[in-house]
Structure 1
Amino acid sequence: MKKAFITLILLIMHAIPALNAQQLSPTGICYVEVNNNNILNAGSYKLQTSGKYLFNVVNIFAANINYDTAKNRPYLYCNNNVTKVLTNADTYIKPLQAKGMKVVLTILGNHQGAGFCNFPSREAAKDFAQQLAQTVNTYGLDGIDFDDEYSDYGQNGTGQPNASSFVMLIQELKALLPNKMITFYYYGPAASRLSWNGLRVGDYVNYSWNAMYGTFSAPNVPPLTNAQISPAAVWMGNTSNATTTSLATQTKNGGYGVFMWYDLHGTNETSQLSAGTQTLYGEQTVLSTALQSWTAGTNCDAPIGLYTSNLTGTSAKLNWSAVGTNTYDVDYKPASATTWTSAATAINSTSVTISGLTANTEYDWRIRTNCSVKSTYIFAPRFNSGTGGTTPTGSSSLSLDGSTESGSAGSLNLSGSALSFEGWIKPSSFKSASPYISSVMGTEVSDSNSAFLRLGDANIANNKLQFVISINNVQQKLTATTALTANTWYHVAATYDGAAMKIYINGALDASKSQTGNVSSNGAFNVGYLYNTSRNFNGKVDEVRVWKRALSQTEISQNRCNVVFPATSLAAYWKFNEGSGSSVQDTSGNGVTLTLTGVDASNWGTDIPCPAGTQKVSANAKSQKATGLDQVTTKKQIRLYPNPVSQSSPLTISVPEEYNRGKLTIYNFNGRIAETKILQAGDHQYDLSKLSMGNYIIQFESQNADLKQTEKLIIK
């Protein structure tokens, strides 16, 4: 799970944002279908005597969650009318906010299989949450509203709803937008998937309302109270005035704190509004300003197919798919920053290379299309700039000749629903004759029993990675987009999670495809060899790992040069630190020794992808060296482990020597301080018995002010 880095000012905000000083009770919620109506009309209605505005929250209905089939990625899509509202925020959003109203963007499915309930992993949920948060921040919105309709789960090879998806999305979004509003239109699969693994959607949302117009039914979203719920649902022009009055009466008598109005039109609605407000507030509704008509926005879609390649530590290539013959504006920034830097303006290509990056740093980038108008921004997956050869590991690597030299681990059973391969390779050359294959690692007994990673195939370039797994007696294959260059170190990884196959290069997602079913792979596992010696790998290898689970992109990008223990489902880990000999020890603790064939002293060398000597090893790690559990503390970062952590287990907080001492502050997810401590350098055991199960923000500030780091902690 990627760590949420947010500033202290956001941390101390209350979970439920304050509304305007003239807030009504019940709070007035209004939806405006911007395809047909001007959202400014929500600011035209007031109560006759008090002069208070009727609506406290105005929902822009609606942006969509779409699906990029080329990249297997849900993305935020804004049609021409939503685009017009967002890109002209000074005209359509800020005037309402100036009247004390909150303006929230509703997100709705779009018949493409993408929805809130079928994210296959926390990584995927966080990616979409980041897109939403960036949109809120870019256009000055006050929050996000979720409506789980029209997703058509299963389309485009997407998965069906699962138990964890919606909870993870809401949790990740609240961490990114702690002082913004999150609301839930109580409908669809999401309404029955409100808790998972001790986490509840209701702990992170501010309001929820009934979605069945003309009825009175309170949503069940624990622990929301009546003050945060609208059991009434009025559809303007379709719910009768008599029913509106009845719903208002039941709301008031039941002590509910929210009243929802849907589909405010561009015609005078005071009659129906008054049928509710006379009961709710004892006042008629009047028009305070003239209503405004609406002219549809111009079509201008943002590009999709976004990915990052050629990561060097100090530079990266940003790529996208063309939208007609238009030009594009591209910006980027460190993930922890708030200010964007322009990478290109009105560029007519489909890529741009940025430089001057900081090695091993997370970055965001965004892009918009220039038509006769500008599209909204679409936000790319977050990427790590790469090591640039500066991240530490051991002191040696192994060179293989592409012919007679390889390593064998014996039989390894990788059958099941998930696995990962990862390691560093530096190809000396690529196979120039059929079948053009250079074997990296894995098992290949037959088409029905295999799981491996290699370079090349008969029908692909000999310098492109290919990930192969056997499912239902058939080899399923995924080919990388990026072509590798000889004599260059690359961190390569391949994962399968039961829903998709993915290839990562230098920590960045390079290729993926939807795939379901269980892998059949149980046999001889090799490094540098598969099937026959004509396919042996020619080049250097280092830090090879095999996992019986799918790693997230965060885990891959942040741990390319080391493994943080305890490491769940790590099947084998060969560091190649021996520097001599004909075997490589397994540091996973599972005893899977890699026996080398054809190797002598000349195969070992000090050309390594991650120079040694710049990483601090904690005292706790030193005590575990004998078992091969090399716990390392990343330089200039505190570290919490394990995380998530059981309430009955101790939490270790490791403070690097660089900081000597500092102040640790623990916030609950409402932004309130739970505890503060002064910590010296070293490892500290923290007693969790004082804290209840849930989610916390941990902030460490060093005494010399060199570090101010924020982490998210989950106590289960």
Structure 2
Amino acid sequence: MKKTITMLILMIIHAIPVLNAQQLSPTGICYVEVNNNNLLNAGSYKLQTSGKYLFNVVNIFAANINYDTSRGRPYLYCNNNVTKVLTNASTYIKPLQDKGMKVVLTILGNHQGAGLCNFPTRESARDFAQQLAHTVNTYGLDGIDFDDEYSDYGQNGTGQPNASSFVMLVQELKALLPNKMITFYYYGPAASRLSWNGLRVGDYVNHSWNASYGTFSAPNVPPLTNAQISPAAVWLGNTSNSTTTSLATQTKNGGYGVFMWYDLHGTNETSQLSAGTQTLYGEQTVLSTPLQLWTQGTNCDAPIGLFTSNLTGTSVKLNWSAVGTNTYDVDYKLASATAWTNAATATSSTSVTVSGLTANTEYDWRIRTNCSVKSTYIFAPRFNSGTGTTNPSGSAALSLDGSSESGSAGNLNLNGSALSFEGWIKPSSFKSASPYISSVMGTEVSDSNSAFLRLGDASLANNKLQFVLSINNVQQKLASVTALNANTWYHVAATYDGSNMRIYINGVLDATKSQTGNVVSNGAFNVGYLYNTSRNFNGKVDEMRVWKRALSQTEISQNMCNVTLPATSLAAYWKFNEGSGSSVQDTSGNGVTLTLTGVDASNWGTDVPCTTGSQKTGSSKAQKAVGQEEVMAKKQIKLYPNPLSTSSPLTISIPEEYNKGRLSVYNFNGGLVETKTLKAGANAYDLSSLSMGNYIIQFESQDGGLKQTEKLIVK
């Protein structure tokens, strides 16, 4: 009686799904390799006297974690045989469930670099967990089994195993599937990464079993008890009958609640099964129905390269990459809903526009390919429909807390001989603990695969910029001369042209380093995060851009607040004008959505470096009336002479088309020296308040049509 009560309590604590009245003790777990065997054969074996089915849980072995290099996204892949099972669930899954069995889908790597242990952020782990949950719900499965094999960590620019990944994945999945099974095949890097930040994998999985066939070894997955573990691992057809009996004896004597059988074939296995069941249950195993043959499924892959664009608040464009000349079925739904709405059936296009959305709301979408059969669905990243009009001021920036908040853009391939990073940052504070790093943006897979911009380093002041590129398998570093101040907006830029690395601050060249060679950078690109969360950026970000070419100083200084589109070699451009939500759209046209982690409405604000009506939010009326190039040619303030001495008169000429505007003068540390109003035409400027040094002159016209920054040198 006490044992029964204890088991009931454990079931409640760990949310172990209750099977049926015929469940055996220990529970029988069976793996079926569906590439070669019919899943239905798991329902053919019974105990001779009691008539109970031998297997309580049947694992479909196996679907894969593949990697979409175009989007930098791990995705769930089902080969032709797994596809056949799932898309014909009424034939292969439901009959087993009708017999009281649970049918679970095993997930393992596929030599593409993606695995259980290298999700770089919680958002990426949540995205994969959502894919798994959608698959379970769509095909009527009873849970997910994890097997950390064949990932080939590091391939395709993916990261190596980290401490947080597996814990985050199972935690996110359990939140989505609270009443389903989650199990762990105790093997690979995941077996040594079972706790992180006070969280334990064992708090979110129901069972774990030994993965070394023919041995008896209990997995150490706290707080799982003996009732939830199989120390025995029997490989049917390869483990001897005598060893099978020995493993069964140790299981029974040790009070373990699970017994795992691997690789059920399409031939009669009653002899070896009986070698275990006679000890475990006191009964022989018999065939209750004839075994069934298996014929291979037809190849039909779902499309990848999924992304959203043109979010208006009430509509969105859903995009994907073509798979041959096939057609596609596309559905969408509210993230909170269970029913899907069809967006397109048998379309030959690679995009579809969905209308009638609710503004600022989370949505899911899915797509499958129509071959001679249908593929399984692939589930796209969740998206926010947006507000449509952004915030009331027309301009916004995002604040990050330096700890748990950041943005993930997926994979960006920046390999080559030239690139540029630029954006506005307003640090709230700088890291006070070693290595004194605040990450701004970029990719850091390894020392031989990285390109990023950050503040500080172990041997660098925590408020100085550092530009880092992997060239010739070494991280080449360039530090700024200028130190930044907290609570001050700065435009920061870093360029590489194959000959020199350069850093610009507020449009002015600050530091240069001679360097040759090609950059190797192909991996997960982040904003506000690199390597680990202790290095997250604390402050505000705006107007972040990535280029696959080296910008000139003129381009940087004249386009700090906006870029005219389309723009050559612009890889990604996040304006942060959404003003709300958990994603930032890429306005470059490349669909590189920035997915935000840990943010809510409080992270968004209207403290921006470029005000409404300036280049930040678009063209003025004059720009709309004439060509952009013509307008930009007119829009130039002039400083002369420059450089000059403190005793020389300075003239600032404002184009006649602007009635007046505001002039701001900053020292090279970003401190505001003074502001004044200037009218159109030539304006004399009094230098008496300025000492020798370098200054930033910024002019903004009253109508917002011109915002220009220039460097002033006072000798």
Q: Distance in 1 between matches of 2:545 and 2:562?
A: 24
SS of 2:107 mapped into structure 1: strand
Deviations 1:330-385 (A, max 9, x none): 00111111110101000001111111111111111100000000000000111111
Is it true that 1:563 corresponds to 2:596 in the alignment? no
Q: Are the counterparts in 2 of residues 442 and 530 from structure 1 also a CA contact under 8 Å? A: no
Single out whichever of 532-541 and 212-221 deviates more from structure 2.
Answer: 532-541
Q: Distance in 2 between matches of 1:410 and 1:347?
A: 48
Deviations 1:661-708 (A, max 9, x none): xxxxxxxxxxxxxxxxxxxxxxxxxxxxxxxxxxxxxxxxxxxxxxxx
**Residue of structure 2 equivalent to 1:599:** 699
Q: Distance in 2 between matches of 1:32 and 1:512?
A: 47
Q: Which amino acid aligns with 2:34?
A: V
Q: Distance in 1 between matches of 2:268 and 2:118?
A: 41
SS of 1:360 mapped into structure 2: coil
Q: Distance in 1 between matches of 2:105 and 2:439?
A: 36
Q: Are the counterparts in 2 of residues 395 and 577 from structure 1 also a CA contact under 8 Å? A: yes
Q: Which amino acid aligns with 1:443?
A: A
Pairwise mapping of residues 281-680 of structure 1 onto structure 2 (< 5 A)? 281-389=281-389, 391-392=391-392, 416=437, 418-420=439-441, 441-444=491-494, 447-450=500-503, 497-498=530-531, 533=557, 535=559, 537=561, 553=594, 555=596, 563=603, 574=609, 576=611, 597-599=697-699, 602-603=702-703
Q: Are the counterparts in 1 of residues 58 and 101 from structure 2 also a CA contact under 8 Å? A: yes
Pairwise mapping of residues 125-136 of structure 1 onto structure 2 (< 5 A)? 125-136=125-136
Single out whichever of 13-22 and 139-148 deviates more from structure 2.
Answer: 13-22
Q: Distance in 2 between matches of 1:498 and 1:296?
A: 43
Q: Are the counterparts in 2 of residues 26 and 259 from structure 1 also a CA contact under 8 Å? A: yes
After superposition, the Cα gap between the structure-2 partners of 1:164 and 1:61, relative to the gap in structure 1 and judged at 3 Å, is: same
Give the TM-score normalised by structure 2. Answer: 0.63
**Residue of structure 2 equivalent to 1:201:** 201
Deviations 1:568-623 (A, max 9, x none): xxxx96585999965699xxxx9976988453561459xxxxxxxxxxxxxxxxxx
**Residue of structure 2 equivalent to 1:106:** 106
**Residue of structure 2 equivalent to 1:160:** 160
**Residue of structure 2 equivalent to 1:151:** 151
Q: Distance in 2 between matches of 1:374 and 1:412?
A: 53
Q: Which amino acid aligns with 1:294?
A: W
Which consecutive residues of structure 1, in runs of 5 or more, have no partner in the other structure? 1-11, 398-405, 422-439, 455-468, 480-492, 501-506, 515-525, 566-571, 606-716
Is it true that 1:184 corresponds to 2:184 in the alignment? yes
Q: Distance in 2 between matches of 1:359 and 1:172?
A: 26
Q: Distance in 2 between matches of 1:584 and 1:232?
A: 74
Give the drift of 1:153.
Answer: 0.6
Give the drift of 1:20.
Answer: 1.2
Q: Distance in 1 between matches of 2:272 and 2:424?
A: 77
Q: Distance in 1 between matches of 2:218 and 2:108?
A: 21
Give the drift of 1:534.
Answer: 5.0
Q: Which amino acid aligns with 1:555?
A: L
- State the identity as a percent: 72
Q: Distance in 1 between matches of 2:266 and 2:424?
A: 73
**Residue of structure 1 equivalent to 2:171:** 171
Is it true that 1:92 corresponds to 2:92 in the alignment? yes
Q: Are the counterparts in 1 of residues 395 and 608 from structure 2 also a CA contact under 8 Å? A: no
Give the drift of 1:531.
Answer: 6.4
Q: Are the counterparts in 1 of residues 117 and 166 from structure 2 also a CA contact under 8 Å? A: yes
Q: Distance in 1 between matches of 2:520 and 2:353?
A: 29
Give the drift of 1:497.
Answer: 2.6
Q: Distance in 1 between matches of 2:325 and 2:112?
A: 25
Give the drift of 1:14.
Answer: 6.7
Give the drift of 1:72.
Answer: 1.0
**Residue of structure 2 equivalent to 1:652:** none
Q: Distance in 1 between matches of 2:20 and 2:553?
A: 67
Give the drift of 1:70.
Answer: 0.9
Give the drift of 1:443.
Answer: 2.9
Give the drift of 1:21.
Answer: 1.4
Q: Distance in 1 between matches of 2:57 and 2:665?
A: 63
Q: Distance in 2 between matches of 1:511 and 1:591?
A: 21
Q: Are the counterparts in 1 of residues 360 and 387 from structure 2 also a CA contact under 8 Å? A: yes
After superposition, the Cα gap between the structure-2 partners of 1:499 and 1:87, relative to the gap in structure 1 and judged at 3 Å, is: farther
Is it true that 1:46 corresponds to 2:46 in the alignment? yes
Q: Are the counterparts in 2 of residues 33 and 264 from structure 1 also a CA contact under 8 Å? A: yes
Q: Which amino acid aligns with 2:439?
A: A
Give the drift of 1:539.
Answer: 8.0
Give the drift of 1:441.
Answer: 4.1
Q: Which amino acid aligns with 2:114?
A: A
SS of 2:183 mapped into structure 1: strand
SS of 2:699 mapped into structure 1: coil
Give the drift of 1:533.
Answer: 4.3
Q: Which amino acid aligns with 1:80?
A: N
SS of 2:172 mapped into structure 1: helix
**Residue of structure 2 equivalent to 1:276:** 276
After superposition, the Cα gap between the structure-2 partners of 1:218 and 1:411, relative to the gap in structure 1 and judged at 3 Å, is: closer
Q: Which amino acid aligns with 1:298?
A: T
Q: Distance in 2 between matches of 1:416 and 1:271?
A: 63
Q: Distance in 2 between matches of 1:594 and 1:295?
A: 78
Give the drift of 1:155.
Answer: 1.0
**Residue of structure 2 equivalent to 1:241:** 241
Give the drift of 1:273.
Answer: 0.5
Q: Are the counterparts in 2 of residues 65 and 74 from structure 1 also a CA contact under 8 Å? A: yes
Give the drift of 1:156.
Answer: 1.1
